[in-house]
Amino acid sequence: MKFNCILAFLFLSNASAVGNERTVCESVAEDLYEGQAVLIDTDSSGFAGGPTQGDVSIGILTPAGDSSFPSIKAICTLTSANPSDSPPFCTLETTLADGKIMATGTPPELVVMGGTGAYYRASGMMTTAEDFQEANGFISFNARIDFCLPVNEAPNPDQNQNQNQNQNQNQNPKPKPKPKPESCEDEQNWSTLHKGDTKNCKWIGKNPEKHCAKIKNASTGCRKTCKTCLVEQD
């Protein structure tokens, strides 16, 4: 009852919040789930004396009766050889017709960590029986899920949205910034060897049409003389 009141408060406060985003809270009704489970002996100690700390139980359960949805995959690790001393730590994946809900924690209260499909960004609590009834590979327990979903007056965000945005950005790349204009002056210390003699920009200027084209690095060292300065354009 306390948890249901909290959910109602969250629904009312978020629905009236300023902005487009609001929160809708729903539940998967309590039901009895049954199925087969396998106990894995992680330390090879055998089961003669019963399960030991660290052993793992893996089970697939469906509602008692003919229904196949929701189904639950349950993976539980024993934190104590005697579950009454310390309950197991479990991860439960509940599969519904339109997605999955992930919950993790120790029974009887597990935290909803999110989901897939219609339950992307889900949060809330999964409540189970305190003890999972298990005998001869058969397991059963009652479970209920109360969850909330933030929505923007539309279906939950497409998980491929970011990928599509990146593809669009690659197809329409941003234009490269214009290069900044260089200082339109000759480098005072620039020189080069020509036929064994050292030549500078003053010598380049005696025949710029010839020297700027043929003398290596003259066009960059003698920008003013060779008229190779970058000009800022609109």
Is 54:42 a contact under the CB 8 Å cutoff?
A: yes
Q: Are 38 and 147 members of one domain? A: yes
Q: Name the β-bridge partners of 198.
A: 193
Does the model's pTM come out above 0.75? no
Amino acid present at 92? L
- Give the residue from 153, 168, 194 where a domain finishes: 153
* Residue-wise pLDDT tens digits, 110-126: 999 999 999 999 999 99
Domain for residue 169, yes or no?
no
Same domain, 59 and 13: yes
Digit-coded pLDDT (tens) for 139-150: 889 999 999 998
Long-range Cβ contacts of 52-55 (<8 Å, 24+ apart): 52/78, 52/81, 53/78, 53/79, 53/80, 53/81, 54/78
- Statement to judge: residues 130 and 33 lie in one domain: yes
One domain, residues 137 and 200:
no
Domain shared by 16 and 111, yes or no: yes
Residues 16 and 58 in one domain: yes
Q: Are residues 37 and 130 in the same domain?
A: yes
What is the residue range of 190's domain? 179-234
* CATH number of the domain where residue 129 is located: 2.40.480
Residues 185 and 148 in one domain: no
The radius of gyration of the chain from alpha carbons, rounded to an integer in Å, stands at 36
What pLDDT was estimated at residue 3? 44
**CA 114 – CA 145 distance, rounded (Å):** 12
Is 174 a member of any domain?
no
Same domain, 142 and 190: no
133-135/138-151 β-pairing: antiparallel
**Are 75 and 58 within 8 A, CB to CB?**
yes
Vertex 211 angle, CA 221 and 217, to 5° = 30
Dihedral in degrees, nearest 10, Cα atoms 138, 139, 142, 143:
-130
- Domain membership flag for residue 15: yes
Q: Using one digit for the tens of pLDDT, what is the confidence trace for 9-44?
A: 444 444 444 445 688 999 999 999 999 999 898 888
165 in a structural domain: no
Q: How many domains does the chain have?
A: 2
In a domain, 232, yes or no: yes
Q: Is residue 117 one of the residues assigned to a domain?
A: yes
Q: Name the domain boundary from 153, 187, 206.
A: 153
For strands 138-151 and 192-194, give the pairing: unpaired
Instruction: Flag whether pLDDT at 154 surpasses 70.
Output: no
Instruction: Report whether 124 contacts 143 (CB < 8 A).
Output: no
